[in-house]
Structure 1
Amino acid sequence: MSGELAVVLHTHMPYVEGYGTWPFGEEWLWEAIATSYVPLLDVFEQHGDQLTLSVTPVLADQLEVADLGARFDTFVTEVRRRTHAADIEAAASPAEVEALRHSLASYESAAERMRALGGDLLGALAPHVAWTSSATHAVLPLLATDAGVRLQLQVGIDGHRRRFGAWDGGFWLPECAHDPALDLLLEEAGVHATCVDLTDTGLDPLRPLRSAAGPLLVPIDREIIELVWSQGGYPGGAAYRDTFRRTAHDHLAHAVDGTPYDPARAAAAARTDAADFVARVRERVAGGGLCVFAIDTELLGHWWHEGPQWLAAVLEEAGTQGLAVTRLDDALHRHEPAPAPDDLPVTTWGTPRDLTTWSAPSVADLAWAARDAELRVVAAGARADARAVRELLALQSSDWAFMTHRDLSAPYAHERVAGHREALETALSSVGSLSPAVRNLAPDASPAALLVP
């Protein structure tokens, strides 16, 4: 069988809606909508049958908020217009002014598209969403109990089915954190396939594995991913917009080589790099196999401004060069899996490929806080109301440890953990006296999964 490429886009945002604004909090959501989610809609509409889109339940929770469109519109019209105007006034050259006008135009375009959608971005994404994930992106191997894992799985899967209908069993393991001990729980929940990072195991990265418990373990292809997601990847090219050199008001007006940003120059670079990417994947799968190119959706647009253009060019170039690009669920019917080895280790896509990012001494307090909360809620069983369950799910998010370990917004992460932990204490000591809502987080949560023997 000839080889093929599966592009998997993992779309995720921790629950920030209503939890702080600039520089930490819900502005992250508005930025992701403006720079990634809306710009990618055209790619999904034109090439959705070739892409595998995963949306985490916790992101869907936020995109489901009733006034999402109005609040996003306010962010663009009252915040981004003002901050761009201030930077334009202070610009050092006409070329910088043009680059900032291009930046503002992209926000205005996103706002216009959201108005046309009636603010229903989730509805626009829905036809393309195939895979789900755990409720709040918990690192499942670090949970303390099977009941806690079942809760994350059930809430996430139930939410996906309510929102999107049919589900073929595709499940994104948060942080690609896989432990063979999870496989039976995944199988029980209806998971048929998930992605894993087996880079350092010596196993074939182009062939799926069949776990003893049932689910397919599909290796992501780190060699191909790093053409994009690495220090020397395409986004570091001279012509692309520099994500790290920012203006006084946090905008981007320069290319990586330091010159004022030129959109036409960057678009040409995106087409060139797309052709190079397709050629390299063709060579990679010349002898057969399944190349899984899996990245965070937010890399395309938010971290790499030209990412959506590049992806569209890849899909067009693949047709020109004769590279098959397919949805992962479809590809798995064509590639015979090998039996998973009995000694498969715990793996993630962290650095190194283990649980260190979420369990190292620097984040031990967060890991233990989440495990302690889980044990207390599981012990409470039927006495734990929906509010307590939601606060537990919020505590279990992988993002708090990631932010701390990488020194990215660590104070905000600790503030969120402390707040959810305090609310959990109140909920457990005052059953029935609090509203079951934690804004819109995990509306499908209930203690039922905790009661499974």
Structure 2
Amino acid sequence: MTDHVGTLCLVLHSHLPHLAHHGRWPVGEEWLYQAWAHSYLPVVDLLERLGGEGRRQLVTLGVTPVLAAQLDDPHCLRGLHDWLGGWLLRAHSAAPRLPDLAADEHRRASRALELFETRWRHGASPLLRELADGGVVELLGGPATHPFAPLLDEDVRAFALDVGLADAALRTGRRPRGIWAPECGYAPGMEAGYAAAGVGHLVVDGPALHGDTGLLRPVGASGVLAAGRDLDVTYRVWSPRAGYPGGRDYRDFHTFDHPSGLKPARVTGRRVPPERKRPYDPARAAAAVARDAADFVRVVHDRLAGLRARLGRPALAVAAFDTELFGHWWSEGPAWLEAVLRALPGAGVRVSTLADAIAAGLVGPAVELPPSSWGSGKDWRVWDVEEFTGVNGTTQKLLREACGPGSARDPLRDALAGQALLALSSDWAFMASKHSAAQYARDRARLHAGRVAELAGLVAAGRVRAGHRRIAAWPDAEPVFGHLDARTFPSSACLPVENDTALINRASRAAEGRSRRHGPGG
């Protein structure tokens, strides 16, 4: 007999697209600094404190390579420090008009500055490595820039994954065995590529397992295990329609005090207009945290008890969320997370990482997964849109033809490969499809694809010095992944760039036209 009803795996997926040097407000570095200040700082602090109490295997923490690169980037570290100082000044400026709010924000900003200055000055990687080495978390990896893998050619998919896993190994000292499949995207056969890359388990959405998420499941004969999000548990916290953060006593994300940029109101009610929302009350919010944490623990316990009765053995629930929910979107999220992690063991629920659950034997029979994602309709519709797939197809073709085995590293081809990976990020199609900063997303996708085309044309023409001058003119000339080596592109029969001269020339002329209109930034 076991002394617990079952196991909960909390999976936190940390991801933002590449934002450094690409705008500040309303979309750009501000987005990064808000998420960093309100989510990454307090969540890591929470995990460090619980780890210091001897708690282990608390969370399966995914940090995408493109986000990890920014959390280690000296430019971004300086930018966050400035932003935190600005937050403190904004709190002070609000004191004459909103004294209670200003005092609360002063405490929060001061704590964030203390955490940054004492723990984060050298970036995120030392902290993540320490948490993983101490057994507090399992770190998940993933493809370099979070592309929607089902829509990538197989060789491009393998290249993106290898670059991402190698980046994690450099930053944290370990090549991840588990990944968060970007957007939980899956196409039949992808498990073979994962197995070849050394990936042993990945997160998919619950419907991909037809809702049968009580155990990890081998995908076909590959040996790669799929962990499915338990939507009965996950959606209790946050779903497309409801969840705890919408409770009336929590801080309202969308209502601002415009002179200070602070958020002075509580949700009050879903249909209450901003001007009629009630002032935020930290005591009411704390009571809501306690109430909703207790409710979640009850839901998890009952779910696991039901699974155990049905399966005749202890089972698993995977609750998976974006890390940015905890603090950035939901101000009280970190406090709720701490309350839940403290309460679950006392309720007879074993808290575990995915790797620990595998070691405990929580694995069921093999399954064949359908094409799937965690997006609208649980299919590919959010990303499979002609506006992006056509450009991405050309970008993949140019990448394939420019990269492959060579005698020495070529900085131009390395830069081309890096820009191709940025162009293929799943974020651009998602943002456009969801009408969230859609024009910014379109501009970013076109910018990086245009750079790929331009560099391909310069390489084909042998204009090496012109290529270096062009890269030097970019505001983000420093590569996101300095280890990226275009020679490692997985093509045993790589074609020279000149084999598709017409395509390259057309793309290059288009890029040059954009350059004349928009200047050195592309």
**TM-score exceeds 0.5:** yes
Aligned AA (1:131): L
1:351 to partner: Cα distance: 0.9
1:250 and 1:229 mapped to 2: Cα distance?
25
Question: Could you tell me whether the CA contact under 8 Å between 2:9 and 2:318 is conserved in 1?
Answer: yes
Percent identical residues: 32
Equivalence for 2:45 = 42
Equivalence for 1:69 = 77
1:160 matches 2:186: no
Q: Any idea what SS the aligned residue of 1:349 has?
A: coil
Question: Could you tell me whether the CA contact under 8 Å between 1:282 and 1:323 is conserved in 2?
Answer: yes
Equivalence for 2:116 = 114
Q: Any idea what SS the aligned residue of 2:20 has?
A: coil
Aligned AA (1:164): T
Matches for 1:289-368 after TM superposition, within 5 Å: 289-342=315-368, 344-360=369-385, 364-368=386-390
Q: Any idea what SS the aligned residue of 1:403 has?
A: helix
Q: Deviations over 1:385-409 (max 9, x none)?
A: 1010000000011111111111100
1:203 and 1:26 mapped to 2: Cα distance?
38
1:42 and 1:81 mapped to 2: Cα distance?
19
Aligned AA (2:29): E
Question: Could you tell me whether the CA contact under 8 Å between 1:242 and 1:252 is conserved in 2?
Answer: yes
Question: Could you tell me whether the CA contact under 8 Å between 1:126 and 1:164 is conserved in 2?
Answer: yes
Larger CA deviation: 79-88 vs 20-29: 79-88
1:217 and 1:165 mapped to 2: Cα distance?
24
- The 1:201–1:64 alpha-carbon spacing in structure 2 relative to 1, beyond 3 Å, is closer
1:452 to partner: Cα distance: 3.5
Q: Quote the RMSD (CA, aligned, Å).
A: 2.0
1:391 matches 2:419: yes
Q: Any idea what SS the aligned residue of 1:340 has?
A: coil
Unmatched 5+ stretches in structure 2: 133-138, 269-276, 309-313, 405-409, 493-522
Q: Any idea what SS the aligned residue of 2:420 has?
A: helix
Q: Deviations over 1:186-215 (max 9, x none)?
A: 100000000111326534121211112221
1:168 and 1:219 mapped to 2: Cα distance?
19
Larger Cα-atom Rg: 2
Q: Deviations over 1:19-66 (max 9, x none)?
A: 110111011111111100111122211335211111110001111112
Q: Deviations over 1:119-167 (max 9, x none)?
A: 2241223323511111000010011x21101111110000000111124
Q: Any idea what SS the aligned residue of 1:187 has?
A: helix
- The 1:426–1:255 alpha-carbon spacing in structure 2 relative to 1, beyond 3 Å, is same
1:447 equivalent among 467, 486, 489: 486
Aligned AA (2:142): S
Question: Could you tell me whether the CA contact under 8 Å between 2:165 and 2:176 is conserved in 1?
Answer: no
Q: Deviations over 1:432-453 (max 9, x none)?
A: 4325974341222221332443
Question: Could you tell me whether the CA contact under 8 Å between 1:8 and 1:54 is conserved in 2?
Answer: yes
Equivalence for 1:282 = 301
Aligned AA (1:26): E
1:202 and 1:329 mapped to 2: Cα distance?
22
1:430 to partner: Cα distance: 2.4
1:214 and 1:340 mapped to 2: Cα distance?
9
- The 1:340–1:203 alpha-carbon spacing in structure 2 relative to 1, beyond 3 Å, is farther
Matches for 1:12-161 after TM superposition, within 5 Å: 12-47=15-50, 49=56, 50-77=58-85, 79-85=86-92, 87-88=94-95, 91=97, 96-117=98-119, 119-122=121-124, 123-128=126-131, 130-143=139-152, 145-161=153-169
1:172 to partner: Cα distance: 0.8
- The 1:427–1:175 alpha-carbon spacing in structure 2 relative to 1, beyond 3 Å, is same
Equivalence for 1:198 = 206
Q: Deviations over 1:171-195 (max 9, x none)?
A: 1100000112211111000000001
Unmatched 5+ stretches in structure 1: none
Aligned AA (1:29): L
1:71 to partner: Cα distance: 2.1
How many residue pairs match? The answer is 442
1:269 to partner: Cα distance: 1.2
